[in-house]
């Protein structure tokens, strides 16, 4: 009996995710070997080579070569559109939602959210500075928050990720699902080989999300510039 197109798509998606998870497991082992190499006094480049972190021969798309649509069980991560303006304003204006975030986030640099949305996919995207996407509820299309890929270092195939949610969507597992989808997309469809993240040390909720998404904490109490008068103390993560 011939499978339906829906079944075929679901099977293909499952295979892509399983492949991404296998690759993630391999990278976790490679990263452990990399850390051991660093302990032996090898340079970062030597440690990476010795750990066997090599480019895959399979052609992979470049991050920023597209504006993706990434579908999960409950959410879709895709382009921010003008109809999201009110929900985006709710995220920006909520002090609880902004408590553990840098001051210089792109969406906070202009009072007109319609202009922010227009600019998301112009120079910010074309210069590969940041790819900001909507995290939206699949059932309703409502914008629940933003997912961001930033800090691309193309020569190292490395990028950082982060997400931020409107307060009404906290505690529903949305951030965990979004983070997992971002990782699956990067490792399953692009040439990215290293994914990192940063969280304020006080932000236990985001730390828990990263742990559930299989990130490991690689450094504690590191100073970073998040735009505040004093350096921000953060934990560093790797997936």
- Report the pLDDT averaged over residues 133-151: 97
The pLDDT assigned to 173 comes to: 96
Query: In the predicted model, is pLDDT for residue 38 greater than 90?
Result: no
Pairing of strands 143-153, 194-200: unpaired
Q: Is 175 helix (H, G, I), strand (E, B) or coil?
A: helix
Burial class of residue 39, CB neighbours in 10 A (0-12, 13-18, 19+): exposed
What is the pLDDT, as a whole number, of residue 49? 45
Residue 82 or residue 15, greater confidence: 82
Whether residue 58 has pLDDT greater than 70: no
More confident residue, 47 or 117: 117
Domain ranges across the chain: 1-54, 59-238
Q: What tens digit of pLDDT does each residue of 160-209 get?
A: 999 999 999 999 999 999 999 999 999 999 999 999 999 999 999 999 99
Mean pLDDT in residue range 100-126: 94
Map tokens 């195939």 to a residue.
157
Q: How many CA atoms lie within 13 A of 176 on its CB side?
A: 12
Tokens representing residue 47 in the block: 């440690």
Taking 80 as the threshold, does the pLDDT of residue 46 lie above it?
Answer: no
CATH number for the domain formed by residue range(s) 59-238: 3.40.630.30
Confidence of residue 231 (pLDDT cuts 50, 70, 90): very high
Q: What distance in Å separates the CA atoms of residue 77 and residue 124, rounded to the nearest whole number?
A: 18
Burial degree of 194 (CB within 10 A; 0-12, 13-18, 19+): buried
CB 235 within 8 A of CB 217: yes
């Amino acid at each position: 009996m011939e499978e339906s197109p829906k079944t075929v798509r679901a099977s293909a998606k499952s295979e892509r995710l399983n492949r991404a998870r296998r690759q993630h497991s391999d990278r976790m082992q490679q990263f452990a070997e990399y850390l051991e190499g660093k302990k032996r006094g090898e340079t970062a480049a030597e440690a990476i080579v010795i750990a066997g972190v090599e480019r895959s021969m399979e052609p992979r798309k470049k991050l920023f070569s597209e504006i993706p649509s990434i579908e999960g069980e409950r959410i879709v991560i895709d382009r921010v559109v003008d109809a999201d303006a009110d929900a985006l304003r709710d995220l920006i204006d909520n002090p609880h939602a902004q408590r553990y975030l840098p001051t210089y986030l792109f969406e906070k640099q202009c009072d007109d959210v319609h202009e922010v949305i227009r600019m998301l996919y112009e120079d910010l995207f074309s210069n590969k500075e940041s790819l900001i996407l909507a995290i939206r509820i699949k059932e309703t299309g409502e914008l629940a928050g933003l997912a961001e890929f930033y800090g691309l270092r193309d020569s190292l195939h490395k990028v950082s990720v982060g997400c931020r949610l409107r307060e009404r969507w906290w505690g529903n597992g949305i951030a965990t699902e979004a983070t997992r989808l971002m990782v699956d997309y990067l490792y399953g469809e692009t040439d990215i080989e290293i994914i990192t993240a940063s969280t304020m040390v006080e932000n236990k909720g985001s730390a828990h999300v990263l742990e559930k998404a299989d990130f490991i904490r690689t450094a504690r109490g590191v100073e970073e510039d998040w735009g505040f008068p004093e350096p921000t103390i953060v934990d560093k993560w790797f997936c």
